[in-house]
Amino acid sequence: MAQSNITIRQAKPEDTALILKFICMLAEYEKMLDDVQATEELLLEWVFEKQKAEVLIGEIDGEPMGFALYFHNFSTFVGRAGIYLEDLFVLPEARGKGLGKKLLLTLAKLAVERGCGRLEWACLNWNEPSIGFYKSLGAVPMEEWTTYRVAGKTLTDLADEAD
């Protein structure tokens, strides 16, 4: 049986529709499809024009089968930037073939090449397959931390209070 050829490449603006498709498929898997507000126009603006995030496309035998969307954050304790992985998704039919691992290895390599101190991401507590996968790579859950978020009307209300 022939081994699949896995390649990882940086996304280009012409990949925007594909990226949105992957985002929607991830959101559906996470039971959060109704929360997706992203559009091709927004992704084109924020990823490719404003360059606020980057995307890797994972291909198997030349076919796009997954993606990783990431951006730089900063650790005051470490005193340098890190890479924050916002989304990692591999199509169900491609899981178990090494694509997710190759995407994470590529991100780790980018972090080291860029002098970053960390590679971090969040995972839903119920997503046991992903948790097991991440732990198998040596990732450690930050169990003493809780993520907080303000968005929508709460965010705009807080912004209004700044004036």
Helix (H, G, I), strand (E, B) or coil at 59: strand
CB 27 within 8 A of CB 35: yes
The residue assigned the tokens 């005051």 is 76
Active-site residue among 29, 70, 84, 134?
134
CB 44 within 8 A of CB 14: no
For 13, phi then psi, to 5°, come to -55, -35
Q: Tell me the longest C-alpha to C-alpha distance in the chain.
A: 65
- Active-site residue flag, 148: no
- How are beta strands 80-90 and 63-75 bridged, if at all? antiparallel
Active centre residues (catalytic): 134
